[in-house]
Amino acid sequence: SQKRIYEVVAKPVVESVLEGYNGTVMAYGQTGTGKTYTVGQLGKEDPSERGIMVRALEHILSSMSLETDSVAVSYLQLYLESVQDLLAPEKTNIPIVEDPKTGEVSLPGAAIVEIKDLEHVCQLLQIGETNRHAANTKMNTESSRSHAILIIHLQRSLKIKEETTVSIPSDTEHTLPGDLPLVLKSKLLIVDLAGSERIDKSGSEGHMIEEAKFINLSLSSLGKCINALAENSSHIPTRDSKLTRMLRDSFGGTARTSLVVTIGPSARHHSETSSTVLFGQRAMKVVNTIRLKEEVDYETLYKNVENEVDHLTSEMERQQKLRHREKMQLEKRLKESETFLNDLKMISSVQIENLEKEKHQFEYAVKRLMQELEEKEGRNNVLSEKIVHLETSLNEKK
């Protein structure tokens, strides 16, 4: 059943991705043997028929908190050696970029859509399925003519409570102080390869022969890479095809990878079945070294610092306004004091003038009194002399 295949093949990889490791689930096999059904079936009418893509995203959404974590998807197809975006069909021939330091592969032109819920997931997968190239062949009524790759980007936040040495992307180690926001970044690739086919059996003609040629070429390049890795060869021909470049991390890289091989039950496809099983056997010999990608969440750190700066700026502006208000109040009080002092000075000067006038008036009155007094004294003296003269005359007469 689809459920059994998911639990055995894909669930361990998904759980590993939730822990912060990269992962890949890939379906490989002859055309018409059920790869797209196993991986990409939407199960709109019967949920039990849901494929690995829907079940993996359902598992991821149920295990994460979208308040602190984020899930985003890109859905691509490799058609005629051209990387095309299934969610934005106008984007064709998307470049594949490899980080020279880490070797990590990225597709900078691809649309990345953040997931909200399972219904949103089904809508996006339906859009991708509608835009994917398929054709009717003798082997399959809806034969995939391109390799489909669903890339699920996970970002989970966590905090360290004490000083911890963590690996920064520049491959240098730094001791970081406590309470720095850390994120686990991981990526899950779910790959539905187009089936290898023989032209005489599939009945392909015209443009479909060209499609089959590119499909077989990329699958052949993948087989060569698997052989080289299984034999520990010094040279791995990953650059022979865009498919092998995109899956560089899945085989011999740092991702935990599960491979589903599909075969047909008919005896007439014995050689294809045999080569598919041999491919699976060789792939089992490939050893991947999984690596946790833990790094400082500079975006959250930047936001926190920005918020702190905003808070300090607003506090500084508040303090400045407070100081300005206090300054205005002090200036107002100073002006009032100066006005009061000026008024007091004016009142004092008027009072002084009045006092001066009174003083002059008093002095003048004193002078007049002194003059009158002197005049009275002079008259008194004259009278005294007259009295003395009269007394003398009287005495003489007596």
pLDDT of residue 123: 94
pLDDT of residue 174: 42
pLDDT of residue 99: 84
User: For a pLDDT cut of 70, what percent of the chain falls above it?
Assistant: 89
- Measured CA to CA, the distance from residue 61 to residue 176 in angstroms comes to 31
**Poorest-pLDDT segment among 18-27, 152-161, 250-259, 377-386:** 152-161
Tokens coding 253: 């890289």
Span 336-383, pLDDT tens digits:
999 999 999 999 999 999 999 999 999 999 999 999 999 999 999 999
Cβ neighbours around 60 below 10 Å, total: 20
| Alpha-carbon torsion (96, 98, 104, 108), positive or negative | negative
Tokens coding 64: 């994460």
Residue 196 lies in a domain: yes
Report whether 31 belongs to an annotated binding site. yes
Give the count of domains, the chain. 1
Residue 68 lies in a domain: yes
pLDDT of residue 138: 60
Query: Which of these, 66, 67, 64, 74, lies nearest to 20 by C-alpha position?
Result: 64
Question: Residue-wise over 326-338: b if at least 16 C-beta within 10 A, else e?
Answer: eeeeeeeeeeeee
pLDDT of residue 172: 39
Task: Quickly state the pLDDT bin for 253 (edges 50, 70, 90).
Answer: confident
Average pLDDT, the chain: 87
Query: Which of these, 130, 137, 135, 133, lies nearest to 147 by C-alpha position?
Result: 133
Residue 273 lies in a domain: yes
Span 277-326, pLDDT tens digits:
999 999 999 988 888 877 766 777 788 889 999 999 999 999 999 999 99
- CA distances from residue 206 to 77, 93, 131, 300 in whole angstroms, order as listed: 21, 23, 21, 54
Report whether 35 belongs to an annotated binding site. yes
- Measured CA to CA, the distance from residue 311 to residue 164 in angstroms comes to 28
Residue 36 sits in which domain range?
2-160+178-296
Task: Quickly state the pLDDT bin for 199 (edges 50, 70, 90).
Answer: low
Residue 360 lies in a domain: no
Q: Cβ contacts of residue 17 below 8 Å, gap of 6+? A: 23, 60, 152, 154, 186, 187, 188, 256
Span 153-180, pLDDT tens digits:
999 887 543 434 444 444 434 444 456 7
Residue 142 lies in a domain: yes
Span 219-246, pLDDT tens digits:
999 999 999 998 888 899 998 999 999 9
Task: Quickly state the pLDDT bin for 208 (edges 50, 70, 90).
Answer: confident
Residue 228 lies in a domain: yes
Report whether 36 belongs to an annotated binding site. yes
- Measured CA to CA, the distance from residue 193 to residue 106 in angstroms comes to 19
- CA distances from residue 197 to 209, 216, 244, 281 in whole angstroms, order as listed: 10, 7, 19, 20
Task: Quickly state the pLDDT bin for 332 (edges 50, 70, 90).
Answer: very high
Q: Pick the residue with more confidence: 33 or 197? A: 33
SS3 of the chain: CHHHHHHHHHHHHHHHHHCCCCEEEEEEEECCCCHHHHHHCCCCCCHHHCCHHHHHHHHHHHHCCCCCCEEEEEEEEEECCEEEECCCCCCCCCCCEECCCCCCEECCCCCCEECCCHHHHHHHHHHHHHHCCEECCCCCCCEECCEEEEEEEEEEEEECCCCEEEECCCCCEEEECCCCEEEEEEEEEEEECCCECCHHHHCCCCHHHHHHHHHHHHHHHHHHHHHHHHCCCCCCCHHHCHHHHHCCCCCCCCCEEEEEEECCCCHHHHHHHHHHHHHHHHHHCCCCCCCCCEEECHHHHHHHHHHHHHHHHHHHHHHHHHHHHHHHHHHHHHHHHHHHHHHHHHHHHHHHHHHHHHHHHHHHHHHHHHHHHHHHHHHHHHHHHHHHHHHHHHHHHC
Instruction: Name residue 192's beta-bridge partners.
Output: 27, 148
pLDDT of residue 161: 39
Report whether 29 belongs to an annotated binding site. yes
Report whether 30 belongs to an annotated binding site. yes
Task: Quickly state the pLDDT bin for 268 (edges 50, 70, 90).
Answer: confident
pLDDT of residue 178: 54
Task: Quickly state the pLDDT bin for 139 (edges 50, 70, 90).
Answer: low
Span 47-102, pLDDT tens digits:
999 999 999 999 999 998 888 889 999 999 999 899 999 999 999 899 999 888 77
pLDDT at 17 over 90: yes
pLDDT of residue 68: 83
Over range 381-387, report the average pLDDT.
91
Residue 283 lies in a domain: yes
- Measured CA to CA, the distance from residue 55 to residue 7 in angstroms comes to 10
The CATH number of residue 150's host domain is: 3.40.850.10
Report whether 40 belongs to an annotated binding site. no
